[in-house]
């Protein structure tokens, strides 16, 4: 009898430590590495991490099909209201920061763009690189899809809530944007800092009308000279807090924040 009882308790403990994280593709590589390291240190823990976009993660949180929604944007009022209608209070924890890099093909001679020029490009008013100091080459803008927190953040922060151009190339994942731009000489897109590599070139950005242009980096994000920086967030409900808190605390710890830095994001301290 004692043996059966012990087995039942052990099984229950295993179920309690099984968690799911879903949402932002920007946060995905960070959560994956954090979860992998956490599970190595906590043998009973099982954490499954998937992407799909911030909106997908928050929808899953509302539906009760994920324990943590990883997001690169703030939760919306109507999303929070839906959770409240289900009797849940949402908890918000900033786990890192990200500089959003605007990237082009490595052979593109353009180096600097103002916020106003970016707005013109992504709303379809500027269509040729020669209009912004580049070669006589058609601009091919790439965007994340509408469920992406990066899509919404870029629209709000850079486009000042103006609509993207009709027919913009919309892709489901950040890695696809990098691949597409690396293969298209006239392309331009935006990605999280951790995805920046030699396949694409980051543009220097100005938010003061062209007086100063700053490249995206951990340093410029930390000293607040780079203008396009956003928080990366975990959302969970009060009912899940006791289950997810050990992992969330791990991400916020010195060990977890070293992983943030190693991945290429900006630590919270």
CATH code (residue 204): 3.40.190.10
**One domain for residues 137 and 200:** yes
- Residues 25-43 have a mean pLDDT of 96
Report yes or no: 264 and 97 within 8 Å, Cβ to Cβ.
no
Average pLDDT of the chain to the nearest whole number: 92
Report yes or no: 69 and 234 within 8 Å, Cβ to Cβ.
yes
Q: How far is CA 118 from the centre of its chain?
A: 20
**Residue 199: inside a domain, yes or no?**
yes
**One domain for residues 113 and 208:** yes
**Residue 245: inside a domain, yes or no?**
yes
**Residue 43: inside a domain, yes or no?**
yes
Residue 138 has pLDDT above 80, yes or no: yes
**Residue 154: inside a domain, yes or no?**
yes
**Residue 181: inside a domain, yes or no?**
yes
**One domain for residues 237 and 186:** no
Per-residue pLDDT at 54: 95
Q: How far apart are CA 254 and CA 234, in angstroms?
A: 17
**One domain for residues 112 and 210:** yes
Look-up: residue for tokens 């909106």?
A: 55
Is the model more confident about 201 or about 13? Answer: 201
Q: How far apart are CA 201 and CA 13, in angstroms?
A: 48
Per-residue pLDDT at 17: 67
- Give burial (CB, 10 Å; 0-12/13-18/19+) of 129: buried
**One domain for residues 75 and 143:** no
Q: Tell me how many domains the chain contains.
A: 2
- Residues 123-138 have a mean pLDDT of 96
**Residue 227: inside a domain, yes or no?**
no
**Residue 269: inside a domain, yes or no?**
no
Q: How far apart are CA 21 and CA 259, in angstroms?
A: 17
The two beta strands, 229-237 and 90-104, are antiparallel
Domain region containing 177: 98-222
- For 211-250, the pLDDT digits (tens) are 999 999 999 999 999 999 999 999 999 999 999 999 999 9
End-to-end CA distance of the chain: 51
**One domain for residues 79 and 136:** no
Q: Which of 16-25, 61-70, 257-266 has the lowest mean pLDDT?
A: 16-25
Residue 47 — φ and ψ, nearest 5°? -125, 125
Q: Which residues lie below 8 Å from residue 244, measured CB to CB, with a gap of 6+? A: 19, 67, 68, 234, 236
Per-residue pLDDT at 269: 84
Per-residue pLDDT at 18: 86
**One domain for residues 76 and 105:** no
**Residue 268: inside a domain, yes or no?**
no
Per-residue pLDDT at 16: 44
**One domain for residues 79 and 137:** no
**One domain for residues 55 and 72:** yes
- Residues 61-66 have a mean pLDDT of 97
Residue 6 has pLDDT above 60, yes or no: no
Choose among 23, 73, 27, 32: nearest CA to 51: 23
Q: How far apart are CA 182 and CA 153, in angstroms?
A: 23
**One domain for residues 43 and 6:** yes
- For 143-160, the pLDDT digits (tens) are 999 989 999 999 999 999
**One domain for residues 108 and 188:** yes
pTM of structure? 0.86
**One domain for residues 153 and 200:** yes
């Amino acid at each position: 009898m004692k043996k059966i009882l012990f087995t039942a308790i052990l099984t229950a403990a295993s179920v309690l430590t099984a968690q799911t994280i879903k949402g932002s593709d920007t946060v995905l590589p960070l959560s994956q590495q954090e979860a992998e390291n956490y599970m190595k240190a906590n043998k009973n823990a099982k954490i499954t991490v998937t992407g799909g976009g911030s909106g997908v993660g928050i929808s899953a949180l509302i539906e009760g099909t994920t324990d943590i929604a990883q997001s690169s944007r703030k939760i919306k009022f109507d999303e929070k209201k839906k959770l409240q209608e289900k009797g849940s209070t949402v908890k918000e924890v900033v786990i890192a920061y990200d500089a959003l890099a605007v990237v082009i093909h490595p052979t593109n001679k353009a180096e600097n763009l103002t916020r106003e020029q970016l707005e013109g490009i992504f709303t379809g008013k500027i269509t040729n690189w020669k209009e912004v100091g580049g070669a006589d080459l058609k601009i091919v803008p790439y965007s994340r899809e509408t469920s992406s927190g990066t899509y919404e953040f870029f629209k709000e922060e850079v486009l000042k809530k103006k609509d993207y151009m009709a027919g913009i190339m919309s892709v489901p994942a950040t890695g696809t944007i990098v691949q597409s731009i690396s293969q298209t000489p006239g392309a331009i897109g935006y990605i999280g800092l951790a995805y920046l590599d030699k396949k694409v070139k980051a543009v220097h950005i100005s938010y003061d009308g062209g007086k100063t242009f700053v490249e995206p980096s951990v340093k410029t994000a930390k000293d607040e000279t780079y203008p396009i920086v956003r928080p990366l967030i975990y959302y969970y409900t009060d009912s899940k807090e006791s289950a997810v808190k050990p992992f969330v605390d791990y991400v916020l710890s010195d060990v977890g924040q070293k992983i943030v830095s190693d991945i290429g994001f900006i630590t919270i301290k």
